Amino acid sequence: MRKLVSLVLTAAFAVSSCLSLAGCSSKPAETTAATTKAGETAQESKGTDAAPATGSIKVGAIYINSQNDTAGYTFAHHKGITEGMKQLGLDPSKDLYIVDNVPEDDEKVKQAIDQLAGDGCNIIFGISFGYINAMEEKAAEYPDIIFSHATGYKSNDKNFNNYFGRIYQARYLSGIAAGYKSLALKNDNIGYVSAWGVEYAETCSGINAFAMGARAVNPNAKIHVYEISTWGDQEKERQAAQVLIDTYKCCVIGQHCDSAQPQIVANEKGVFGCGYNSDMTKEAPKAHLTAAVWNWSAYYATAMKAAMTDKGSFMQSVGNYYQGLAAGLVDVSALSENCEPETAEAIKIAKDLMVSGKWDVFSGVKLFFSGKAGAVTAEQKNDALKTNKGEEKVAAGGASVGDDVIQGSMNYYVDGVTQVN
């Protein structure tokens, strides 16, 4: 569905830009056909928002992969930026400057930033971790431009922030779907194809949350993690999923890697799976349950709005941004028909708890779901957060580990997780 929307949008843009070319671009872009919806919001926001003099900003973006990707990490960010811009009445075909396929190489990132700065961008987003040092350096060089860096940990107090999201919350929810499936199939083995293991807090917190979600439904569930040691390699992703299914008899395949290959393999082999980044039901119609997804526009709209209204107070109004289900930054995709009947209710209960802030994943309180569809209940039990080696991280009943742990220093698997390679 998302792909369809993006396809239609791309086609519409192509048509509109052709039109404007044919019309010798005598009229400004606000009259182009395709942006009707965006155009409406543009007028609305012009009426309501106290926008700065011109009412618009130029947005710069530095991508690790191609802006024309149709799935994966860069795609999710690009979609978030363009959607965020439309919400604010900005026209991505005019106000968005992109340097893409930029490797994590300081020199190349700096050149990209210089180019975007020269083109007059007011806010520059860099989406890959390795851009961190170049962005820090250039933030000092261009104090008038806001630099916003995803997945990093550096910032300053004026024009440089970092942002990321509590994707582990969405992972927990997809884990619930996996847990119900394993209960129904009477198979406790759940697989997980992961780019990295405990080396990165990003991957290991995701694995842990997924495992805890699954074990909240099926306390006997075992999560087998296969690490492929790269963020994306379709062949390795395939092989990993095959090993997990054939050798470890896994009945559900979760994933933290770029492509939909693990889901496709699950589909071929007649097992089930939970995707990542986008709804992969299209790729694996018979296997896919639900995917942990990002909705980056929630952040991008916030950041760009702050840059439009009062640049000087950006670090006060937005600051270092780390939001989750509550802000709509992360979520699970629509549950497919493959899900067990209890899944939706259980996910709703857990989601409400996290949105309200009453409970979070990595705390000393665990949820246990029981009951048939229509009468699913969640029991909260005080239970220590333990690593798979038995080390206690949070005492029973204790508060959640700090955000710094989830984002940066988590380097252990929780109970029930084993890495197979």
Residues 372-411: x where in contact with other proteins by CB under 8 A, - otherwise, as a string? ------------------------------------xx--
Q: Does 14 bind other proteins (CB under 8 A)?
A: yes
> Does residue 99 bind other proteins (CB under 8 A)?
yes
Q: Least Å distance between CB 393 and other proteins?
A: 17
Q: Which of 205, 183, 185 is nearest to 194 (CA)?
A: 205
Using rule CB under 8 A, residue 70 touches other proteins = no
Q: Is 66 in the site for other proteins (CB under 8 A)?
A: yes
313 touches other proteins (CB under 8 A) = no
**Distance in angstroms (rounded) separating the CA atoms of residues 205 and 274:** 16
Distances, alpha carbon 306 to alpha carbons 89, 104, 241, 302, 318, in Å: 14, 28, 43, 6, 7
Selected from 53, 107, 157, 390, the binder of other proteins by CB under 8 A is 107
CB 330 → other proteins: shortest distance, Å? 21
Query: Which of 44, 119, 246, 310 lies at the binding interface for other proteins (CB under 8 A)?
Result: 119
- Residue 135 binding other proteins, by CB under 8 A: no
Helices then strands, counting H and E runs in the chain, come out as 14, 18
Q: Which of 228, 63, 254, 262 is nearest to 167 (CA)?
A: 254
Q: Which stretch binds other proteins (CB under 8 A): 198-206, 262-270, 314-322, 412-420?
A: 198-206
Of 179, 204, 176, 174, residue with least CA distance to 190:
179
232 interacts with other proteins by CB under 8 A: no
Query: Can you state the percent helix, strand and coil of the chain, rounding each to 5?
Result: 45, 20, 40
Tokens of 383: 């239970």
Positive or negative torsion for Cα 322, 406, 420, 229: positive
Segment interacting with other proteins (CB under 8 A) among 12-20, 160-168, 367-375, 393-401: 12-20
Applying CB under 8 A, which of residues 47, 118, 357, 374 lies at the interface with other proteins? Answer: 118
Contacting other proteins (CB under 8 A), which of 6, 41, 45, 115?
A: 115
At its nearest, how many Å lie between other proteins and the CB of residue 45?
20
Number of chain positions touching other proteins (CB under 8 A): 44
Is residue 38 a contact point for other proteins (CB under 8 A)? no
Which of helix, strand or coil describes residue 393?
strand
Angstrom distance (rounded) from CA 159 to CA 140: 8
Helix 73-87 vs helix 297-309: crossing angle, to nearest 10: 50
3-state DSSP assignment of residue 361: coil
Task: Tell whether residue 6 is a contact of other proteins (CB under 8 A).
Answer: no
| Binding mask of the shown chain, residues 155 to 194, with x at each position contacting other proteins by CB under 8 A | ----------------------------------------
Closest C-alpha to 226, from 265, 196, 270: 196
> Which residues make up the interface to other proteins (CB under 8 A)?
13-14, 16-18, 20-21, 25, 66-68, 82, 92-93, 96-101, 103-108, 111, 114-120, 129-130, 132-133, 153, 199-201, 408-409
